[in-house]
């Protein structure tokens, strides 16, 4: 019987909310730090402006084929892809849930 070593699970960094006093966020926002079309620093700050209470998770999403071709953001169970980071941000706006 062969043993398959898949290595360690991908590292996921959690970026804390920009406004910790805003209460819990209903939004699950994730993106890959290896994506060729996004930059962690700029995308994180732009996402925090859209939802200051969101915990943003950064790490591999095993979405490497599309990730190599387009920017993508995983939000609330949906993969949103676009040619650029800014276009992807525009596309996710309808999927951002308001806090109660």
Residue 1 inside a domain? The answer is no
Residue 77 inside a domain? The answer is yes
Residue 16 inside a domain? The answer is no
Would you say 81 and 74 are in contact if contact means Cβ atoms under 8 Å apart?
no
Would you say 61 and 67 are in contact if contact means Cβ atoms under 8 Å apart?
yes
Number of domains in the chain: 1
What pLDDT, in 10s, does the model give residues 47-87? 999 999 988 999 887 777 777 889 989 999 899 999 999 99
What pLDDT, in 10s, does the model give residues 28-53? 999 988 888 888 889 999 999 999 99
Domain boundaries, position 39: 26-95
Residue 13 inside a domain? The answer is no
Residue from 90, 87, 27 nearest 53 by CA? 27
Instruction: Please report, for the domain that includes residue 60, its CATH number.
Output: 3.40.30
Would you say 26 and 71 are in contact if contact means Cβ atoms under 8 Å apart?
no
């Amino acid at each position: 019987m062969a043993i398959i070593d898949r290595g360690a699970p991908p590292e996921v960094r959690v970026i804390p909310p920009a406004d910790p006093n805003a209460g819990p966020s209903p939004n699950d926002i994730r993106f890959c730090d290896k994506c060729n079309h996004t930059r962690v620093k700029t995308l994180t700050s732009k996402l925090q402006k859209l939802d200051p209470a969101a915990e943003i998770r950064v790490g591999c999403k095993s979405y490497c084929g599309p990730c190599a071709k387009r920017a993508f953001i995983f939000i609330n169970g949906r993969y949103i892809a676009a040619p650029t980071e800014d276009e992807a941000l525009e596309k996710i706006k309808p999927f951002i849930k308001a806090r109660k």
